Amino acid sequence: MANLIDFLQHQNLVWQGTENAPASRQVYETVSTGFDDLDKLLHGGLPSQGVVDIQSQIGIGELRLLLPYLRKQTRMCAVIHPPALINAHALFHQGVDTGQFLVIRPNSPQEALWAAEQCLKSGACSSVLLWHGDLEVHQVKRLQLAAQTGQGLICLMRSCITQLASLPVSLSLKLLPHALGLKVQVTKRRGGWAKPDFVLDMSSNWPELTAQLKPSRGADIVTFERALQQANR
């Protein structure tokens, strides 16, 4: 029975329901998101390899969330089926090496998945950004295996989600717009509970894209420390 559970956990088909699980089953390599509060909430940051599901409306700052991570990448980043043209000039001025960006515009969702899998398995890409809709469990498992083979990370950028089934991903985030940046909900994290919503303040990074407002009494801005206190009650 123990071997079966270990196998299912390795396939991301079993999720721990407590933070008190054995350390060997909780710890996995992470890489910083570039936002200290988010790193603390995620116990280190994004997984160094695997599949991250990011559910978000288009254009609310979902790429800004990933920019600090993308700046540090030494291998290629494949951008597959983006909903709009990628502004290379803006990326360059944000410190991103645009020479390492590969933009792929497939003709169908099937071609997009095939391209993502090949980019990951090749080992040439440290990260893949894939815009896609609903996905089947077996499709995500193939991407997970390809990411492990090439030691890379794929971020599924999804909007207008209709499926109800949970996907076997390493991390799942839901993003909502907020005056100070983004409201982030961690709906799944390997080795632990989902986390309460919190506001990721981006005003110091991009003041021109955020409202310079002081939170009033009763506002829904929750400090990181308070969010942890609420989660541990």
Give the bridge partners for 199, in sequence order.
Answer: 183
Strand runs labelled E in 4-152:
30-31, 46-47, 50-55, 76-80, 101-104, 125-131
Span 144-173, average pLDDT: 89
Condensed to tens digits (0 to 9), the pLDDT of residues 42-96 reads 989 999 999 999 999 999 999 999 999 999 999 999 999 999 998 999 999 999 9
Domains of the chain in start order, with CATH, are 28-177 (3.40.50.300)
Question: pLDDT tier at 196 (50, 70, 90 boundaries)?
Answer: confident
Mean pLDDT (the chain, rounded): 83
pLDDT given at position 189: 85
Say if pTM beats, i.e. exceeds, 0.85: no
Percent of the chain with pLDDT over 70: 75
Is the pLDDT score of 25 beyond 50?
Answer: no
| Residue in this structure with the two tokens 């990074």, named with its chain if needed | 205
- For residue 131, what are the contacts with CB-CB under 8 A and spacing of at least 6? 80, 81, 82, 83, 112, 157, 158
- What does the pLDDT read at residue 219? 46
Question: Tell me: the pLDDT tens digits for 101-143?
Answer: 999 999 999 999 999 999 999 999 999 999 998 899 999 999 9
The per-residue pLDDT for 39 is 94
**Identity of residue 180:** L
Residue 80's CB is within 10 A of a number of other CB atoms, namely 23
**What value does the CA radius of gyration of the chain take, rounded to a whole number of Å?**
18
Distances (CA, A) of 43 to 13, 29, 74, 207: 21, 10, 23, 27
Which residue pairs from 157-161 have beta carbons closer than 8 angstroms and sit at least 24 positions apart in sequence? Answer: 157/54, 157/56, 157/62, 157/129, 157/130, 157/131, 157/132, 158/53, 158/54, 158/55, 158/56, 158/131, 158/132, 158/133, 158/134, 159/55, 159/56, 159/57, 159/58, 160/133, 161/55, 161/133, 161/134
